[in-house]
Structure 1
Amino acid sequence: MARKKRDPFEAEIEYEIVSKTEMKRDMDKLQKLGEELVMLPIDQLDKFELDETVLDAITLAQKLKGKHEAFRRQLQFIGKALRMLNPTDIEATLDKINSKRSQSSAEFYVLENTRDTLVAEGISAINELMQEYPHLDRQKLRSWVRTAQKDAEKGIPSKAGKELFRYLREELE
């Protein structure tokens, strides 16, 4: 933790003493932030307020992923460049992106489980789903479920299961 020390000659000025360990900890934190930025696709980097130097460094690091030592040095450079920016804004934007990603994957698993339940249970699951979502097309559901069940019995990948998933995703979102 930083201590404040008063200058004996100027009583109004306070200096903040930062230990070398604390500076290293802060640098590691910025490097990890930079590494998270490197792992993002380029189209999502536009959501951040980054200057050209940092963006160029990130794109170069994305190209250097296979080269271990060069990648590590590039991450150090990105961490150094991030010192000039406000890391709290970058962290806030990164948190938003991560929460959206986790929310969309959770929705994906719910739809996947719904599809699997429909295929496993058949008509009874369709009836329950129709009670909850009456706007769905019962005929389409029954057709896809029947075809997916036949494909499952044969042990082949089901095109009907994929179509059922797409339909559920479009209609339930």
Structure 2
Amino acid sequence: MKSNFVSQINSNEEWISKTQMKKQMNDLQALGMELTRLSSDTLKKMDLPEDLLEAVLTYQKITSNSALKRQAQYIGRLMREIDHTPISHYLARLKGENTAHNAYLQRLENLRSALIADDKALTELISHYPDIEVNNLRTLIRNARKEQAENKPPKAFRALFQLLKSAISEDNIV
């Protein structure tokens, strides 16, 4: 009889104390509160579940303290019902805490600098990414060089970065 009871305990998930459960719930509610600080455009880009998006947008409109507290608890409850890891990753990326994404952006900046400094880098880039818009890329490189030479605002410099970012995915950068 005892061995049967022990095997049932071992087959179940790890036991979680009430304190740990409360901490997890509070963490999820805090994650939900981070969503309330974002603009509605950013929230719509995140592809949140409809009820969570509506709850967050409602929270942003509320002015009463007691109503804010109730809405925060409701957001926390909704967060417990969904997979919160994509939201955590997205918020980390927005905060700049994602080291892999930061490394990707750094490689793009280095690539941009190399393109402006040397024409050989353009040939190498085209060989790695044949689908890239070559004419637009050459124009932006030329304009960025001209901007740097004349100490003008870096409009083409920034546009070059955006072109590279849109053409080269995070998973596909060399």
TM-score strictly above 0.5: yes
- TM-fit CA distance, 1:115: 1.6
C-alpha distance in 2 between matches for 1:23 and 1:135: 50
User: What does 1:43-122 correspond to in 2, within 5 Å?
Assistant: 43-44=44-45, 47-48=48-49, 50=51, 55-56=54-55, 58-63=56-61, 70=65, 74=68, 76-82=69-75, 85=78, 87-95=80-88, 97-98=90-91, 107-119=104-116, 121-122=117-118
Rounded to whole Å, the distance in 1 between the matches of 2:46 and 2:115 is 39
Between the two structures, name the one with larger relative contact order (CA 8 Å, sep ≥ 6): 2
In structure 2, what is the Cα distance between the partners aligned to 1:172 and 1:45? 21
- Greater strand percent: which structure? 1
Scaled by the length of structure 1, what TM-score is found? 0.55
CA contact 1:31–1:78 (8 Å) conserved in 2: no
- Percent sequence identity is 26
In structure 2, the residue matched to 1:155 is 151
1:114-162 residue CA offsets vs partner (Å, 9 max, x unmatched):
222211x221322322332345465654443233112102211233334
Task: Mark the CA change 1:117 to 1:29 in structure 2 (over 3 Å): closer, same or farther.
Answer: same
Answer yes or no: is 1:35 the counterpart of 2:28.
Answer: no
What's the TM-score, normalizing by structure 2?
0.55
Unmatched 5+ residue regions in structure 1? Answer: 1-17
Q: Which of 165, 168, 173 is residue 172 of structure 1 equivalent to?
A: 168
| Deviation sequence 1:11-43 (CA, Å, 0-9, x none) | xxxxxxx76x66764553343133033234442
Aligned residues: 147
Q: How much is the aligned-residue C-alpha RMSD, in angstroms?
A: 4.2
Kept after mapping to 1: 8 A contact 2:144/2:156 = yes
Corresponding residue number in structure 2 for 1:14: none
Contact 1:122-1:146 at 8 Å conserved across structures: no
**Contact persistence 1:148–1:160 (CA under 8 A):** yes
Letter of the 1:117 counterpart = A
Gaps of 5+ in 2: 1-16, 170-174
- Report how far residue 83 of structure 1 moved: 6.2
Contact 2:29 2:77 survives alignment (8 Å):
no
Q: Kindly tell me: are residues 152 and 78 of structure 1, through their superposed partners in 2, closer, same or farther at Cα, counting changes over 3 Å?
A: same
